[in-house]
Structure 1
Amino acid sequence: MRKQPRAAALLTIASLSVTLLTPSAAFAWGTDPGEGTTPPAEDSAQGTANGPELGAEVTRTRIVVTQSGSGTAKPSAGGLTAVDPNWNPPACWYEPLATPQQLKDATEHMNKGDLFSVNFGRRWGKDLLVDAFDKGDATFTDTPTKNYNVGRKGMFWRAVARKDRANDPEILDCSKNLFWQKAGTVPDDPNAPTAQVLAAYAYDKIRVPDTEVELKPQGTSTVNLPTWIWLDKTVFKDVTVRAELPNTPLYAVTTAKPVALHLEPGTEDAKTFPASGDCPVNEDGSIGTPYAKGASGEDPPCGIAYLRATGGEPYQLKASVTWEISWKGTGDAKGGLPNGTFETTQDINVQEIQSINR
């Protein structure tokens, strides 16, 4: 059995969050570049390795995401809540982290007391990094190297955890120390990144427009008079998020398609149309039907009839759209993910028309 590196004992879960969130001057890459931003290409790295800005947290990823569709049109767009409460996306995976020159320069710039997170439970000082990646001491890594592999094509990889799983014991499954991987290849490991891993990551980045439904009558409804509700087809279009992992061939495109609107009147003194409160999406992408003059005596295909007037406080009409999620990616891989919902609330005032008999 390989002995563990000195001064590099596995941390307990209780102390793991301290390592991830509040490291001392640590050297590590992976800065969550944000939508539409591409990290430096492998050959462009010049070894800029000063300070903890190079990535103190191992919960920050290099995955690049870009979104298109209706969710980009409104600044008030929000994320989805998975319908399946048991959905468990991957807690961790491995990613390319540093070129040989980047690792060499980072090590040379380290000061006494600086630590480098080589995985979730181990943080090495300069001496250990030199032993493992400059001198090639096999005690400290599965892939020892000489002179940091400068001149070879490839990158050093490290595990990354989802931010919402930073204290989850499952992330310790990604237990490899910083290791070498040849260019254009992916590790042969159960926790290696895949198109499906990227699709699940993209799921969290989906942003959809607020579910602010159109109402007729607007402003104030009337007791027993149906309120027609609809959503315009030009607003609710498919939303796509592309996630790709630089320095690998991996990508995934995750698509959210609106498939239903659910209404909750905010009071038991109401009747929904249809009775289930579920309004399906029409063939043209719209939901419900706009009110047409002369239709006041008809039941709307999507709507609500309030049976009691509001008494000072408006009813809270909740409207949630269900989005069907699918993905496709590298090597013609494809599949589905749990449907997601996005809900908004609107104030509804209801009046009662008084009649006088003489």
Structure 2
Amino acid sequence: MRTATPARLLAPIAAVTVALCGGGIAHADAPTGKETRPPGPAGGADDKALSASVSRIRVTQVSGPTGGKRGSISSTDVNWTPPPCWYEPVLTPEQLKALAETNSLGYVSPHTSWGGEKLWTDHYRDGKDAYNYKDGSLTPVEGYDNYNIGKDGYFWRGVAPDMADPESYDCERVMFWQNAGEVPAVPNAPTPETLAEYAYDKVEVPDTEIELRPEGKSTVNLPTWVWLDKGTFQEVKVRAELPNTNLWAETTAKPVALHLEPGTEDAETFPAGGDCEINEDGSIGTPYVKGDADRTPPCGITYLRATSGGPYKLSASVTWQITWEGAGGTGGDLPDGTFETTQDMNVQEIQSINR
């Protein structure tokens, strides 16, 4: 993780002079973790169009359960994070004109907002330069003629879901033009993998509601059988598409293993280590049947000491294997994800078996 460089005011030189005289305001957020936003728009563009932290990527669930309790997975790779920022098409020429001349409040990059009509009209209507700040220097950016009205394309701007992330400053180019059907050839331009990684955080998997026998109360030195029915867990597939581009990706989460933590050191897990692999039919473990009480379960726990003062917290976490495929025949793997739930387990000394 790099250290953030303080943001600079990215405004046309002439507009800065006007701003100092009260004709406009260019606001650059400092990388303090606190975000300051201009007021909502009065017209011409909606809040989503003006927000630099809200992506326009459309996410839909293609397959997998949609009802019941669900939650987001956590990456098993503690060093992996989704991309901190990327660029997206934001406004048509007509939308930019409406913003500039009727509202004139909005972000030109994730951390820099312009307020005041002249800041916008100087650069996007009257052709005056603006400036990108990078690596300690300012680079002039040529202005536009009448918002490029009559041309087919979009103005693109950086998006940073976590504005406090220092790496979100890597997308600080002033909002720029790109012809329709094209993706800009700039660092941090979106790719199918960008969308796949964005969709990773949108995957919701069902609660890990394991079946137990006996249910909720076990007996010292007798095994508790644990299993998941094959119909309980299914692959979850999420599709992400970036409007006004041909970019898309589908991220798939597939359950591959169940891990058990008994909630106490006075217990044995089966298999040793508590990792129950998924069976070929999609189930995990084997359901308990009458007469199995004295057998060792393929997936289960034997508690060696009774509970006292409160139940043990049995933790069950499912590992989900994550893959993706996207536009242009792209695809690959992403870090596995896990989803964990806990439930109370009371353990008694009486060695009686319900058959």
Match of 1:173 among 162, 170, 174: 170
1:72 paired residue number: 66
Q: Which runs of 5+ in 1 are unaligned?
A: 29-47
The structural deviation recorded for 1:88 is 2.9
CA contact (8 A) 1:70 1:235 kept: no
More strand by share: 2
2:109 paired residue number: 119
**1:147 aligned to 2:161?**
no
* Amino acid in structure 2 at the alignment position of 1:346: Q
Q: Which runs of 5+ in 2 are unaligned?
A: 1-9, 20-25, 132-139
CA contact (8 A) 1:328 1:335 kept: yes
Q: Give the 3 Å change call, closer, same or farther, for CA 245–297 of structure 1 in structure 2.
A: same
Q: Give the 3 Å change call, closer, same or farther, for CA 236–143 of structure 1 in structure 2.
A: farther
Residue 104 of structure 1 aligns to a residue in which SS? helix
Name the TM-score, length of structure 1 as normaliser.
0.85
Name the TM-score, length of structure 2 as normaliser.
0.86
- The superposition leaves residues 248-279 of structure 1 with CA deviations (integer Å, 9 ceiling, x where unpaired) of 00001000011110000001111100011000
2:30 paired residue number: 12
State how far apart, in whole Å, the 2-side matches of 1:87 and 1:93 are.
17
2:160 paired residue number: 161
1:187 paired residue number: 184
Report which stretch shifted further, 128-137 or 234-243: 128-137
Residue 201 of structure 1 aligns to a residue in which SS? helix
**1:311 aligned to 2:308?**
yes
Superposed, which structure 2 residues align to 1:262-273 within 5 Å?
Answer: 262-273=259-270
* Amino acid in structure 2 at the alignment position of 1:79: S
Q: Give the 3 Å change call, closer, same or farther, for CA 188–150 of structure 1 in structure 2.
A: same
State how far apart, in whole Å, the 1-side matches of 2:124 and 2:315 are.
57
Superposed, which structure 2 residues align to 1:1-358 within 5 Å?
Answer: 5=12, 6=16, 8=26, 10-14=28-32, 17-19=34-36, 23-25=37-39, 27=41, 49=44, 53-74=47-68, 76-110=69-103, 115-124=105-114, 125-139=116-130, 142=141, 144-162=143-161, 165-353=162-350
* Amino acid in structure 1 at the alignment position of 2:145: K
CA contact (8 A) 2:219 2:351 kept: no
Q: Give the 3 Å change call, closer, same or farther, for CA 248–143 of structure 1 in structure 2.
A: farther
The list of structure 1 runs, each at least 4 consecutive aligned residues, that deviate by more than 6 angstroms after superposition, is none
The structural deviation recorded for 1:317 is 0.2
Residue 61 of structure 2 aligns to a residue in which SS? strand
Report which stretch shifted further, 137-146 or 165-174: 137-146
The structural deviation recorded for 1:18 is 2.4
State how far apart, in whole Å, the 1-side matches of 2:142 and 2:186 are.
14
- The superposition leaves residues 268-298 of structure 1 with CA deviations (integer Å, 9 ceiling, x where unpaired) of 1111000110000000111101012221111
The structural deviation recorded for 1:127 is 0.4
Residue 293 of structure 1 aligns to a residue in which SS? coil
Report which stretch shifted further, 85-94 or 346-355: 346-355
The structural deviation recorded for 1:71 is 4.4
1:42 paired residue number: none
Aligned pair count reads 323
Residue 120 of structure 2 aligns to a residue in which SS? helix
Percent identity over the alignment is 55
Residue 348 of structure 1 aligns to a residue in which SS? strand
- The superposition leaves residues 285-338 of structure 1 with CA deviations (integer Å, 9 ceiling, x where unpaired) of 111010122211110000001111112411110000010111010101001111
Residue 136 of structure 1 aligns to a residue in which SS? coil
